[in-house]
């Protein structure tokens, strides 16, 4: 079977078989979350030679069955501990879960497959070889997230792999807060940016900071807020208080999916236009080569579902960019790279909407465009 060289993945399909080219290690960590992988690889590199060998890999690059078989044969089968953080449950990676479980039980490898979100999953527990207490501890460390908790995971993983190391139980990290680096004072107009906590914890916020700078250049005061989810209670309460205090003229939402409940979304309470911005999951090259631009996943998460909430879609303000290989974990991290021209477009659009919101109704001109089919 033909093997493609390692490269950034395309989320539209499973792609071809990929050889990640990694060597064996005592601990293997797999996840769909680029931010999570990026932070863990960085923390491991900073630990020096004090921890057992670690390999990090993206599940998005292991979609093809042959890619799974090859990775299990060349890397996973030699591990003492394999940890998988699986967003979406077993159905999102069925072949991988089945083959990993079979390998772990046959070779006596410690296997932990934990959810990639806040929802418990009995099927993943059944596929794991470690006990429920251990699985829940690992799950909690990643769910709370952040550098301190992931350092504790590295120590706990080393201990499970037979190399006792220091670790602590998970410490709760706030689900919502302000990104001070992207907050801007002054300005007659006011804009609020909302984005995901995972980006904040992984220090992958360059597009958010760049957007805040562009808004400030156009006369905006800016509040930048990170949330676990707009449907999560702590995040919803924080956003509600922030919007009431700041009273934005426009909101720029970088969270995906639909955030609407029966009573509406928390963002609706500001009575301000909500512009949807996308942080693309593909590279700029893949976007340019595609006849439709955004891939299927981005269209669904950032265009179709937010439109249910009445969001005004703008542009993708960043694309995934591959960084130099982190040799310690043999992992090439990806990060959000700001796209200046599209950030300027979004900032200009935000300015127009903010001015329109402040204009008296008597001074506005309204045009309606209707379709000519039933």
What pLDDT is recorded for position 259?
60
Angle at 356 between CA 351 and CA 358, to 5 degrees: 100
Contact indicator for 197, 256 with CB cutoff of 8 Å: no
Of the chain, the percentage scoring pLDDT greater than 90 comes to 71
pLDDT higher at 256 or 308: 256
Instruction: Give residue-wise pLDDT tens across range 64-93.
Output: 999 999 999 999 999 999 999 998 899 999
Segment among 123-132, 179-188, 282-291, 322-331 with least mean pLDDT: 282-291
Instruction: Give residue-wise pLDDT tens across range 315-329.
Output: 999 998 887 777 789
Inter-CA distances, 87 with 31, 59, 357, Å: 8, 10, 39
Length of the chain: 374
Please give the structure tokens belonging to residue 167.
């670790």
What pLDDT is recorded for position 8?
46
Of the chain, the percentage scoring pLDDT greater than 70 comes to 94
Question: Nearest Cα to 254, choosing from 203, 292, 198, 214?
Answer: 198
Residue 263 has pLDDT above 70, yes or no: no
Distance CA 211, CA 222 (A): 10
- As a whole number, mean pLDDT of residues 32-53 equals 91
What pLDDT is recorded for position 88?
87
Per-residue confidence at 223, pLDDT binned at 50, 70, 90?
very high
Out of 3-7, 15-19, 137-141, 252-256, the most confident range is 137-141
Q: What structural domains and CATH numbers belong to the chain? A: 27-160 (3.40.50), 176-357 (3.40.50.2300)
If 0-12 CB within 10 Å is exposed, 13-18 middle and 19+ buried, where does residue 60 land?
A: buried
Q: Are strands 250-253 and 274-279 parallel, antiparallel or unpaired?
A: parallel
pTM for the structure as a whole: 0.79
């Amino acid at each position: 079977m033909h093997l493609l060289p390692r490269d950034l993945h395309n989320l539209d399909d499973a792609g071809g078989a990929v050889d990640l080219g990694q060597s064996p290690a005592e601990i293997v960590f797999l996840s769909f979350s680029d931010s999570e992988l990026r932070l863990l690889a960085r923390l491991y590199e900073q630990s020096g030679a004090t921890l057992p060998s670690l390999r990090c890999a993206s599940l998005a690059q292991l979609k093809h069955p042959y890619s799974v078989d090859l990775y299990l044969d060349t890397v996973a089968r030699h591990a003492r501990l394999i940890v998988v953080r699986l967003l979406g449950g077993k159905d999102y990676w069925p072949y991988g879960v089945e083959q990993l479980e079979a390998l772990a039980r046959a070779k006596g490898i410690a296997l932990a497959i934990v959810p990639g979100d806040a929802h418990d999953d009995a099927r993943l527990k059944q596929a794991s070889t470690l006990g429920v207490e251990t699985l829940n501890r690992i799950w909690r460390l990643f769910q709370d997230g952040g550098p301190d908790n992931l350092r504790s995971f590295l120590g706990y993983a080393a201990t499970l792999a037979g190399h006792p190391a220091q670790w602590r139980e998970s410490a709760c990290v706030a689900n919502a807060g302000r990104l001070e680096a992207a907050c801007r004072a002054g300005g007659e107009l006011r804009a609020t940016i909302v984005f995901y906590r995972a980006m904040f914890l992984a220090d992958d916020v360059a597009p958010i900071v760049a957007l805040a700078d562009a808004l400030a250049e156009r006369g905006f005061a800016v509040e930048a807020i990170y949330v676990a989810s707009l449907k999560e209670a702590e995040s919803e309460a924080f956003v509600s208080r922030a919007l009431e205090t700041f009273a934005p003229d426009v909101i720029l939402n970088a969270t995906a999916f639909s955030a609407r409940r029966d009573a509406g979304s928390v963002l609706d309470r500001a009575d301000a236009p909500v512009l949807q911005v996308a942080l693309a999951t593909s590279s700029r090259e893949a976007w340019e080569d595609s006849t439709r631009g955004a891939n299927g996943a981005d269209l669904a998460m950032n265009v179709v579902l937010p439109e249910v909430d009445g969001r005004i879609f703008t542009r993708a303000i960043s694309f995934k960019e591959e960084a130099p290989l982190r040799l310690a974990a043999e992992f090439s991290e990806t990060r959000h790279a700001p796209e200046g021209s599209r950030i300027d477009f979004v900032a200009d659009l935000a300015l127009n909407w903010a001015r329109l919101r402040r204009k008296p109704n008597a001074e506005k001109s309204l045009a309606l465009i209707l379709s000519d089919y039933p």
